[in-house]
């Protein structure tokens, strides 16, 4: 029997890769898209993956519970993946209330719509390593206490505990993936990896001379989005719902990531990077490093794409885009 999945945030990086994975597995994919006057732009990532005409897109917004209930009633999903969010940490200080409303309460709206209109559906919440923030343990696992350092992270903590609460209160098969940073050629340009790969390419092509960055001593546990959406799907295939850290177990500085990207183009990063305090954050997360042991053991999940390979793939994709 064909399974149906509803994905919020389908137009984002993870939404595109998850759609591709689920289509490959024979799912009917219904994606929630917020209305915009910019026609045709919404599906650009799905077009890049060649799947834009294979998913059904429906109008909806995480701020509007009524439309989410209607979407669940119409789609009768087997699985619901809540990926929608105001997902950029830096923007969350400028739009804290919107971030709370979409990233935090928005997740609760999706859970409510499920409870009311599709209580048998399995639910995935896109939790984040940013919840660990000012880390309380050197290596973070499912049991590490949270210490959110931004309005974004605080909103994600609310959504995370709402997911746990709906599982415990209503018996909903609700799982939460505490995903560490994951990137790809479809990552938004404002995030540091993509800003660096795109910026290095512009320098290589003579379109720019420098790349302005903030705290390049920050360290992240970076993986590839294609690997990470597989973990999301695996969580919903388990008999029991749960919370899972999804990470590589390796942490790298922004500085080192820059070196990898520039070197792939035959450039020296040190000659082009300019530190610009405009990109410093009111409070930063200095280091993240995850322990994915539970995902390895329970889900048999292993990341397949390493950092160097991923950065090179991103640089090559940006090179192709700029040349086109």
Task: Please state, in angstroms and as integers, the Cα–Cα distance from residue 9 to each residue in 13, 59, 132, following that order.
Answer: 9, 11, 23
Residues 20-79 that bind ligand NDP (CB under 6 A): 32, 34, 42, 61-63
Q: Which of 181, 197, 252, 291 binds ligand GDP (CB under 6 A)?
A: 181
User: Per CB under 6 A, does 57 bind ligand GDP?
Assistant: no
User: Per CB under 6 A, does 160 bind ligand GDP?
Assistant: no
Contacting range for ligand NDP; rule: CB under 6 A; set: 5-13, 70-78, 133-141, 282-290: 5-13
Task: Please identify the residue of the shown chain whose CB is closest to the bound ligand NDP.
Answer: 12
- Choose between 140 and 181: whose C-beta lies nearer to ligand NDP: 181
Q: Which residues contact 1 (CB under 8 A, 6 or more apart)?
A: none
User: Per CB under 6 A, does 216 bind ligand GDP?
Assistant: yes
Q: What is the DSSP string of 291-306?
A: --HHHHHHH-----S-
Give the residue among 109, 107, 86, 89 at the shortest CA–CA distance from 98. 86
- Choose between 202 and 215: whose C-beta lies nearer to ligand GDP: 215
Q: Residue 212: in which H helix or E strand, if any?
A: strand 211-213
- Would you say how long the chain is, in residues? 324
User: Per CB under 6 A, does 188 bind ligand NDP?
Assistant: yes
Contacting range for ligand GDP; rule: CB under 6 A; set: 44-52, 201-209, 215-223, 298-306: 215-223
Q: Which residues contact 309 (CB under 8 A, 6 or more apart)?
A: none
User: Per CB under 6 A, does 9 bind ligand NDP?
Assistant: yes
Beta bridge pairs of residue 219? 253, 287
- Residues in contact with ligand GDP, counted by CB under 6 A, come to a total of 19
Q: Which of 49, 58, 65, 90 binds ligand GDP (CB under 6 A)?
A: 90
Q: How many helices (H) and strands (E) does the chain have?
A: 11, 13
Q: Specify whether the CB–CB gap between 157 and 105 falls below 8 A.
A: no
Residues that bind ligand NDP (CB under 6 A): 8-9, 11-15, 32, 34, 42, 61-63, 83-87, 102, 126, 128, 179, 181-182, 188
């Amino acid at each position: 029997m064909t399974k149906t999945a509803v994905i919020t945030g389908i137009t984002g990086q993870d939404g595109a890769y998850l759609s591709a994975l689920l289509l490959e597995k024979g799912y009917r994919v219904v994606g929630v898209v917020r209305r915009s006057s910019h026609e045709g732009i919404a599906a650009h990532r799905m077009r890049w993956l060649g799947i834009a005409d294979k998913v059904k897109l429906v109008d909806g917004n995480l701020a509007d519970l009524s439309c989410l209930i209607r979407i669940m009633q119409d789609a009768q999903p087997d699985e619901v993946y809540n990926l929608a969010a105001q997902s950029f940490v830096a923007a969350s200080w400028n739009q804290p209330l919107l971030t709370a409303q979409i990233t935090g309460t928005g997740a609760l709206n999706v859970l409510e719509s499920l409870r009311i209109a599709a209580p048998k559906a399995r639910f995935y919440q896109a939790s984040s390593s940013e919840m660990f923030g000012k880390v309380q343990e050197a290596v973070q696992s499912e049991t590490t206490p949270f210490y959110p350092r931004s309005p974004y992270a605080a909103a994600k903590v609310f959504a995370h505990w709402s997911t746990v609460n709906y599982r415990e209160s209503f018996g909903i098969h609700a799982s939460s993936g505490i995903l560490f940073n994951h990137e790809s050629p479809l990552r938004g340009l404002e995030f540091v990896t993509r800003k660096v790969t795109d910026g290095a390419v512009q320098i290589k092509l003579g379109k720019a001379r420098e790349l302005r960055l903030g705290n390049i001593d920050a360290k992240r546990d970076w993986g590839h989005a294609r690997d990470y959406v597989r973990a999301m799907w695996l969580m919903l295939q388990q008999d029991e719902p749960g919370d899972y850290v999804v990470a590589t177990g390796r942490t790298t500085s922004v500085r080192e990531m820059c070196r990898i990207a520039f070197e792939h183009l035959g450039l020296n990063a040190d000659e082009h990077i300019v530190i610009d305090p405009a990109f410093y954050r009111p409070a930063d997360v200095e280091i993240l490093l995850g322990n994915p042991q539970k995902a390895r053991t329970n889900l048999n999940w292993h990341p397949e794409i390493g950092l160097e390979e991923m950065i090179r793939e991103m640089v090559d994709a940006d090179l192709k885009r700029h040349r086109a």
